[in-house]
Amino acid sequence: MASNPHESSAAADERAAAASGAASRIDRAALARRIADASLLRGSFTLRSGRTSSFYLDKYLFSTRPEILRDLGVLFAARIPAGTTRLAGAELGGIPLVSATSLASGLPCVFVRNAKKDYGTAKQLEGAVNKGDRIVLVEDVATTGGQALEAAKVLVDAGAVVTHVIATIDRLEGARENVENAGICFDSIFTVRDLGIDAS
């Protein structure tokens, strides 16, 4: 579980125990079914990676449901490693997920835009990032891990250390290998198999 640099060790341990206890009360199998029922589409789809697929998990159809989002926030919070100082989520699908995780864990978060905006502050990162921050990047559906790695680079360029990428769902199409080859730990709450989808 995560720690805040201004939080005592005892408080961090108490927070970790609370997150673990809350996660243990969630019926993961039932949550997987709810996510699949809400978001699984069949057909012919082109993914962000450019690959085609016979199924698509529409992240917005599960991440906009409060009962699903609440449980995912708790499960993410329970997986955050000790020493984490901040969470991050990439535009747009990662934003509701990292917000829920921030609420469940008590850790601050930052949003990573796909590109710098050309007005106002012209930032690509929305929210504070401190040099040396140890960041967990919360992802929605991971295919090849490309978006996560792009977001991680933005964070690293800002002086942070991205230690982990944690996805809601791993499609089992190379994300783990690609992220770990970049020196970042990878984890996921579910895989497509947990949702009853044949990934072969």
- Asked if residues 156 and 129 have their Cβ atoms less than 8 Å apart, the reply is no
Predicted model pTM: 0.89
Domain boundaries, the chain: 9-195
Task: State residue 76's pLDDT score.
Answer: 97
DSSP 3-state assignment of 1? coil
Task: State residue 10's pLDDT score.
Answer: 65
Q: What is the CA radius of gyration of the chain?
A: 16
Task: State residue 4's pLDDT score.
Answer: 56
Task: State residue 9's pLDDT score.
Answer: 64
Q: Is 30 exposed, middle or buried (0-12, 13-18, 19+ CB in 10 A)?
A: exposed
Amino acid at 118: D
Size of the chain, expressed as the number of residues it contains: 200
Q: What is the mean pLDDT of each run of 10 residues along the chain (200 residues)?
A: 56 69 88 97 87 92 97 96 96 96 96 79 88 98 95 97 98 97 98 88
Task: State residue 123's pLDDT score.
Answer: 84
Return the H-helix or E-strand segment holding 166: strand 161-170
- Helix 66-79, helix 94-105: angle, nearest 10: 60
Distance CA 1, CA 18 (A): 10
End-to-end CA distance of the chain: 33
Closest CA relative to residue 59, chosen from 72, 49, 76: 72
Pick the CATH number of 9-195 from 3.20.20.220, 3.40.30.10, 3.40.50.2020, 3.20.20.140: 3.40.50.2020
**DSSP class per residue in 34-67:** HHHHHHEEEEEEE-TTS-EEEEEE-HHHHHT-HH
